[in-house]
Amino acid sequence: MRFLILLTMIVGVAMPQEPIDSAKVLLERGSTILSHGEYAKARTELTKLIENFPDSEERIEAHFYIAESWYSEKSFEKAISEYEKVTEHPDHELAHKSIFRIGNSYMKLNLNEMALVNYWRLINLYPESHLIPLARNKIALIKKKMESK
């Protein structure tokens, strides 16, 4: 019996581990929490997804929602970092929206040149995006601001 207890302590066989929710469940929970404005709590759930399912398709969406939480809290540098992780997957449906939000984040930080770069990046990479008219409006607004200086 002592041998079994010792073996159990060394190997950890008898220690039941808490089951990990699926990536889909964590994504749904995180996005629901986010929609209720509980940004830090949402990031915790979404980070669990990224850590436990690093190769899942859902992790890309998790990065997007984490970025959205930072954007909502006006932590634009952190938002940009997370949006960029989404753009590493150019075929993902949220890549074009992430580039647009990066541009918006740079505008909020008064880094207008970087905002322009990203709006043009959106136009060049995703010419069919429904966000193109909005990007063009932002470009015109920035150019007007720059001319008035």
Given a cut of 90, whether residue 9 has pLDDT beyond it is: no
pLDDT at 41: 98
Asked whether the CA dihedral 119, 121, 127, 128 is positive or negative, the reply is negative
What is this structure's pTM? Answer: 0.85
- The answer to whether the CB of 89 falls within 8 A of the CB of 95 is yes
> Residue 92 has which token pair?
């993902």
Given a cut of 50, whether residue 10 has pLDDT beyond it is: no
- The answer to whether the CB of 98 falls within 8 A of the CB of 64 is yes
Indicate the SS3 state at residue 94.
Answer: coil
pLDDT tens by residue, 92-133:
999 999 999 999 999 999 999 999 999 999 999 999 999 999
What domains can you pick out in the chain, each with its CATH number? 21-73 (1.25.40), 80-149 (1.25.40.10)
pLDDT at 64: 98
> Which residue type sits at 131?
L
Helix, strand, coil shares of the chain, percent, nearest 5, are 70, 0, 30
Phi then psi for residue 89, to 5 deg, are -120, 75
pLDDT tens by residue, 12-66:
444 445 557 899 999 999 999 999 999 999 999 999 999 999 999 999 999 999 9
Asked whether the CA dihedral 138, 144, 147, 149 is positive or negative, the reply is negative
> Residue 11 has which token pair?
């190997």
